[in-house]
Chains A and B, each alone.
Chain A
Amino acid sequence: MKERKRFSTEFEPALHGDSFKADPAEQRIKPLDGRQGEMETVRDSVYSEPAVAGPDAEANLAEWIARKREQCSRGGNLAFLLLAALLSGPFAVVGAFLNGRYSIYGLGYAVLFAPIIEELLKQSGMVYVLERQPYRIVAPWQFITSAVIAALVFASIENVLYTFVYVGPEDVRSWTFFLWFRWTVPTTMHITASVIASLGLVRVWRKQLADGKMADLSAAFPHFVAAMVLHGGYNFVAIPLSILLIQ
């Protein structure tokens, strides 16, 4: 009986001249979905359709960014970017652990899979900002600074893990040399790779503003690959070498 009532024609908006009303079941799911954000409204605008070619197809995104920029304070923007950069490091560590199913490949894992996931996730904070709140970014140096911060956080966590979990004092010949090495060479490598990848994000950001389209990460592809190759190449040389030196 209840079913029949729900599907009866009295709920059809077209028959009553009403506007669309969500089904009660859909209404319950609504809080999970949230409402259509401003970003989606800009994206779904009919003037962005190639077949329509409206008067201001490209101005759409630029206008939205300009409007949002006025609403945001400088301090708030910087704090948000700092938070994004700080969170990327731990996120990359978690990602590296979750990616552990590939560790059956041994050294192959360290050379191929680990650099891919780590380099991508070290930039995750800035990618989020770039895709969801691009108006918070005003200059390219913000990408590079964030990359350095994220890489430092990631390298620090990695160093602490190596020092206290993976390598014990009985495993190394010289403890001071080990600490000195960990905090210079791999840390510098992480920072360099991240800065290279962040240059790719700068390119994405510039392209986004020039084209008036949403950010497309594929423009950063060459930079990310360069960072991954550097990271993988370092692992390929350093891991066998460190095993030889330590034991």
Chain B
Amino acid sequence: MIVVNTEYIPGKRITSIKGLVQGNTVRAKHIGKDIGASLKNIIGGELKGYTELLVESRREAMSRMLAQAQELGCNAVVNVRFATSSITSGAAELYCYGTGVIVEDQPAQASGQM
């Protein structure tokens, strides 16, 4: 599976557009990390517990999107976008969407076309 956030993949040609594929997740860290983060707020700096939360959420949302793409028979997802929103304190919502497509290798002479 090729995943890119550009609209087209260099060297490949999009043969069919399957539609929007997406994945989302709402995750939280356990209370220990929340306490750690509130202590870190006193001195400032990176909130490592929440960085970890975002890393996990991003991977979860991404793999859900890829599962959808696989279901549609796509071999690439182009123009991937991420969006986050804070639904409740201590939790993160990560939403990931892109266009599922089927691509094939582009013949050399046709480069520059779609």
Contacts and interface: CB of A to CB of B under 8 A. Distances in A.
Question: Is there a direct interface between A and B, measured as CB atoms under 8 Å apart in the complex?
Answer: yes
Given A49-B62, A50-B66, A51-B66, A29 B55 contact: no
B63 A50 contact: yes
Nearest to A213: B56
B62 A50 contact: yes
A32 B1 CA distance: 40
Interface of B: 1, 3, 30-32, 43-46, 48, 52, 55-56, 59, 62-63, 66, 77
B77 to A, nearest CB: 8
A170 interface: no
A128 B31 CA distance: 12
Contacts of B52: 43, 214
Nearest to B80: A51
A44 B45 contact: no
Given A43-B55, A51-B1, A32 B31 contact: no
B32 A127 contact: yes
Interface residues of A, number: 18
A194 to B, nearest CB: 16
B66 A32 contact: no
Interface in A21-44: 29, 32-33, 40, 43-44
Contacts of B62: 49-51
A137 B31 CA distance: 22
B69 to A, nearest CB: 10
B31 A120 contact: yes
A127 B35 CA distance: 14
Contacts of A198: none
A29 B45 contact: yes
Interface of B is mostly: helix
A59 interface: no
B46 A44 contact: no
B59 A48 contact: yes
B32 A124 contact: yes
Nearest to A29: B45
A217 interface: yes
B48 to A, nearest CB: 7
A32 B43 CA distance: 8
Contacts of A33: 45-46
B3 A44 contact: no
A153 to B, nearest CB: 18
B48 A49 contact: no
A44 B58 CA distance: 12
Closest 9 A-B residue pairs measured CB to CB?
A51-B3, A50-B63, A32-B45, A217-B30, A33-B45, A50-B62, A33-B46, A50-B66, A50-B59
Nearest to A33: B45
Contacts of B3: 51
A150 to B, nearest CB: 14
Interface string A194-216: 00000000000000000000100
Nearest to A40: B48
A17 B3 CA distance: 29
Interface in A42-69: 43-44, 48-51, 53
Contacts of B55: 43-44
